[in-house]
Amino acid sequence: MPLSPSELIINSDGSIYHLNLRPEQIADTIITVGDPERVTEVSKHFNFIEHKVGRREFHTHTGTYRGKRISVISTGIGTDNIDIVFNELDALVNIDFDSRELKDQHTSLNIIRVGTSGSVQPSIGVDSFLLSQRGIGFDSLFHWYENDGGDSAFAKAVQEQLNTQRLNIVPYVVHCSETLAKRFQTIDMNNGNTITNVGFYGPQGRKLRLNPAAEGLNDRIANFEFDGHQITNLEMETSGIYALSKLLGHEAVSLNAILANRATGAFSEQPQETVERLIKFTLDRIVEV
């Protein structure tokens, strides 16, 4: 059955609804960044840019870096945007836009998030890098799709130790792609487990004028332990990226430039330089391994 115009929305120029991209305009290797301005920071390293498009917070440049075709796309902030970006990227490769039917042959994308994050462990300092081995979703995106429950043992430990029921949330846990992760696991990279939440302030325990509902939650997060694993950092997209990649059959890994240390109260004095180092590291690992 062809997908109806209300489900698969194709613009008059043949591009997908929000991303404004046509199927031939994306590469199989995709870097996602939160900030639209970071797209240029990645593509400035390309030897050649073949395609640029931007709509809302979703900006894409496709080009070639040292002979490898790569797309870089901004997701904006939050897992609500991840739902749009990942469903539309998948549609671009796995749905035939002429017949509106699912393709017989599945294409798996390699997707690497280059993002920023706050550490909850004093030992993971600002300006360091962290690869998220697990995305721990305090958002609800995974729950909206038929799924296998993810890593339910880890999720249960999170629920119990952090008493998430009190916050009316049901955490889920999804792993990164082990094969893709290997490319980036150098001595420069911390490995960790990342909580993704729906906001930057209260949901990450920040207090400006409003009191977070769960006083001391970041300390409990820092002290969490399950099967030898800690929770290391907080941000706003990784769990959604891992959840949809797993469900749609793509390989994903989330790399974080640690800009804040919530345990020590420090914030990076050189955030741009740190993100720039992570971008260059990521591009080189994509082509060199």
Ligand X SMILES: O=c1cc[nH]c(=O)[nH]1
Binding site for ligand X (CB under 6 A): 116-118, 200, 204, 234-236, 259-260
Cα angle value 126/242/229 (rounded, 5°): 55
Number of CB atoms found within 10 A of residue 96's CB: 14
Number of residues written out for the chain: 289
| Inter-axis angle of helices 271-288 and 36-43, nearest 10 | 50
Write down the residue that tokens 């997209």 correspond to: 237
For position 116 contacting ligand R1P by CB under 6 A, the verdict is yes
Backbone dihedral region for residue 224 (phi beyond 0: left; psi -120 to 50: alpha; all else: beta): beta
Interaction pattern, residues 176-215, with ligand R1P; x per rule: CB under 6 A:
------------------------x---------------
Run of H or E residues at 241? helix 238-248
For position 236 contacting ligand R1P by CB under 6 A, the verdict is yes
Subset of 127-156 contacting ligand R1P (CB under 6 A): none
Write down the residue that tokens 């706050």 correspond to: 118
Task: At 287, give phi and psi (nearest 5°).
Answer: -90, -25
Subset of 28-67 contacting ligand R1P (CB under 6 A): 33-35
What does 77 bind: ligand X, ligand R1P, none (CB cut-off 5 to 8 Å by kind)? ligand R1P
Q: Which of 3, 49, 77, 93 binds ligand R1P (CB under 6 A)?
A: 77
Q: Residue 118 or residue 171: which is nearer to ligand X going by CB?
A: 118
What does 33 bind: ligand X, ligand R1P, none (CB cut-off 5 to 8 Å by kind)? ligand R1P
| 120 within 8 A of 221, measured Cβ to Cβ | yes
Q: Taking the complex as a whole, how short is the minimal distance between the CB of residue 114 and ligand X, in angstroms?
A: 13
Q: Residue 79 or residue 133: which is nearer to ligand X going by CB?
A: 79
Residues 6+ apart with CB under 8 A from 5: none
Size, binding site for ligand R1P by CB under 6 A? 10
Q: What residue ranges bind ligand R1P (CB under 6 A)?
A: 33-35, 77, 115-116, 200, 235-237
